[in-house]
Structure 1
């Protein structure tokens, strides 16, 4: 079974996803005229805007929920795995994917805002790829398929992998026992998530809003200290990354295990640009124009890859510790930090992994809740049903701590790939709608601080929102 999963994983990413991701990212970048560069300053301005209703979800809160899912164990273990198995050049391909992929994030999140729905009872907004696929493309089949793959990805694949990655950080400690420690860690993590889940959805937003910025800042600070300590060899490290990234002889001699494919896989796993996950959080934001949330969501990709993933990569490569298959995962990062912090290094990574894993799991399950609501005729199921679903999710988290590493990565890669194969073509088909919305925003921005979106001006009919 593991062999079959790995074969499917390899074929899906090369050549299928390699071509689709590359084409989509370049196409969206060109059509938006490098929106990720032109409007970077504007996205920073928008991020702290407050919604008209104090009870509504702000752009910042929606960003934190999506970032909670993006920023996680992938920033530590994913990057380390890519370097150890694919080579230093994987970092360059992660950078490239993030830069061009930011335009994909803009497209999908803007679409989620345009086609979002409003809960008449609570006044809350919701939506995502399933909603714009169904309403704009009139395909309930692909909308339903996307939702099923999303549940498999975030409720099963990513959560199992996240749980496995967390328990793997304890391998470096003397008390680690392969027969018992994974079970103990899995049980504790599952219990902590259960406490939050059964406390209600609002608590998810509040917890991620506080924890995500703090854990990101602390991790970057620790990385900077290591970088300063090894500053003299950083130029050589950057040169090594670029040289390895363009070693096409090595790449094409073993494409499936090359730095390019590992960079794309782990980059996509980390920043999720174009996967279709972030739009579920983007739709919940209360903004005056859909483009605002599209611009804000670009930042999440930059925060994840260009900031946190880069911090991990450069820190590890400048530490003097040579990457190897044996060090793949958390051990490579722990050893890198130990060169400066000594015994405190592995402990810090363990604490960071606990925080990363916890917020990743919470962010993932926020998406699962939205997906389940879609399958339930776009209504949140009863409390008993949701409790039952959450119990299953908690059990999956426990199970993830005790499965083999290769199986965890393969399951996550495959389910994520299936989501992307549905979402990106949908974004491509609806790209004109986003381009028109972007033009409308840019025109209004010339004479007003807060552009207002009106569906009738865009020739859009039948929308739940934007009709006032």
Structure 2
């Protein structure tokens, strides 16, 4: 098993060093400049669209999940063990400097997130629960390459609902075990945790996307608030060390870290990998959630999902880094995973806090499992409409949760890194080829906003683009409630798409 683990680790490092990292950086910078730094310029719009009113159908029911619910589904997947165990792993491997590269890549990756989620909305399709979409759909419909869409779907299904969810379950199990039996003697605990977690997962995932949305809508804000409060208390207790922490993050980002033995290449690679695992910018996962929302313009979900990247990295990941670094940890002997964060919290708040952390870890990881499951479901439905396959998929996800709770963590982490790299490559190539559509839609959105309108998109605004199923007319986009307002606002903006603003 050690030989397999070493092979998986070496293969993953080669993929990330020579293919994924250059693609992430080059395309992120290209999208940033081509969009006029949309990830910074339209931050106020991100907050405005987050609470957008959901268009309704003829019966008065929401057409699908709301913009905020789609945000929480994607945040549920983003905000998980990557924010606690992943940041701890990044610091253990690359030192404090890895955090700088996580921050930088979150900002650059915000532009990639905007492009992919805007495309996800543009090429979404209708289903029984509302809408679904994502990279597989815009690859098939935008690039006319169904084989590549199926390839992406298979990679995502292996990566998120199986590898990543197993990792989430493993972290819950490890945290509970270390809390209940610090001496490691209770080998039965992981099995009990696995059975309970699998049962809870089954109760939610067999209920469909709306049940997932209702659960994540309640859990995500709660877990974020609890964890942020823990972090703020610990930072306040060690406030005099904060300048030193910031100094170490910036100074060690560009040079050899003698404590952990990390070279500049290791520091950068660790920060980018752990950052992408956490915020998923450009990875191709968030568009699956973003496409499920009922909004009046694709750019709205592009902006909302970019805000999700910031929420994940600049808020949740940063507080984990501060918790660890203000506690002056022994990085030379630090273990990867949850241990570094857990030790820092217990050292500051006492042994009782391990119970509180177990609760937070459970909420974080369980919500991630639900978000990961939904990503897989959307791609299963892309491959085949057969309900029997979907039922089998749900059953296998529940089984993966049980297995992940009792399996070894190292192989799962390394395998997840490698499969995540493959997924990123397929998606980044696709959004690079389709990015012109996203930038055209961005111009349309900003043009309508300057006119004082609530932007509305219909597919006749992109006459040269085929494969767009939804967005037929303003009546279907805005819903009966808003139709008269949309008509009064008229469609004078249509011609500007082919002219300079």
Q: Is the shorter-chain TM-score for this pair beyond 0.5, marking a shared fold?
A: yes
Matches within 5 A, 1:5-404: 5-53=8-56, 54-55=61-62, 56-119=64-127, 122=128, 124-173=130-179, 175=181, 176-177=184-185, 179-247=187-255, 258-376=266-384, 379=385, 381-382=386-387, 384-404=388-408
Please give the alpha-carbon distance, in whole angstroms, between the structure 2 residues aligned to 1:395 and 1:104: 33
Checking the alignment, whether the CA contact within 8 Å between 1:164 and 1:408 is kept in structure 2 is no
Q: Secondary structure at the match of 1:292?
A: helix
Aligned CA distance change for structure 1 residues 290 and 123 (closer, same or farther; 3 Å): same
The aligned counterpart of 1:422 is 426
The 1-side partners of 2:24 and 2:272 are apart by 9
Q: Distance in 1 between matches of 2:363 and 2:80?
A: 8
Q: C-alpha distance in 2, partners of 1:206/1:94?
A: 30
TM-score calculated relative to the size of structure 2: 0.88
Alignment partners' CA distance in 2, 1:359 and 1:215: 9
Instruction: Give, in angstroms, the shift of residue 188 of structure 1.
Output: 2.0
Q: Deviations over 1:232-271 (max 9, x none)?
A: 01000110111111105879x9669822111111111000
Residue ranges of structure 2 left out of the alignment (5+ in a row): 474-501
Q: Which residue number corresponds to residue 499 of structure 2? A: none
TM-superposed CA distance for 1:182, in Å, is: 2.3
Aligned-CA RMSD value: 1.8
> Is the contact between residue 133 and residue 140 of structure 1 (CA under 8 Å) also seen in structure 2?
yes
Instruction: Kindly indicate whether the alpha-carbon contact (under 8 Å) linking 2:95 and 2:257 is maintained by their aligned counterparts in 1.
Output: no
Structure 1 pair 350/257, CA: closer, same or farther in 2 (3 Å)? farther
CA contact under 8 A between 1:335 and 1:345: conserved in structure 2? no
Kept after mapping to 2: 8 A contact 1:88/1:241: yes
Whole-angstrom distance in 2 between the partners of 1:360 and 1:161: 10
How does the TM-score come out when normalised to structure 1? 0.95
Using the TM superposition, give the Cα deviation of residue 340 of structure 1 relative to its aligned residue in structure 2, in angstroms.
Answer: 2.8
Computing the radius of gyration over CA atoms, which structure comes out larger, 1 or 2? 2
Going from structure 1 to structure 2, the CA distance change for 1:426 and 1:255 (only over 3 Å counts) comes to: farther
- In the TM superposition, what is the alpha-carbon distance from 1:123 to its structure 2 partner? 6.7
The verdict on how the C-alpha distance between 1:462 and 1:11 changes in structure 2, with shifts beyond 3 A counting, is closer
More displaced stretch, 28-37 vs 313-322: 313-322
Deviations along 1:88-145, whole A, 9 cap, x unmatched?
11111110111110111100000011111123xx471111101111111111111110
Secondary structure of 2:457's aligned partner: coil
Displacement of 1:320 after TM fit? 2.5
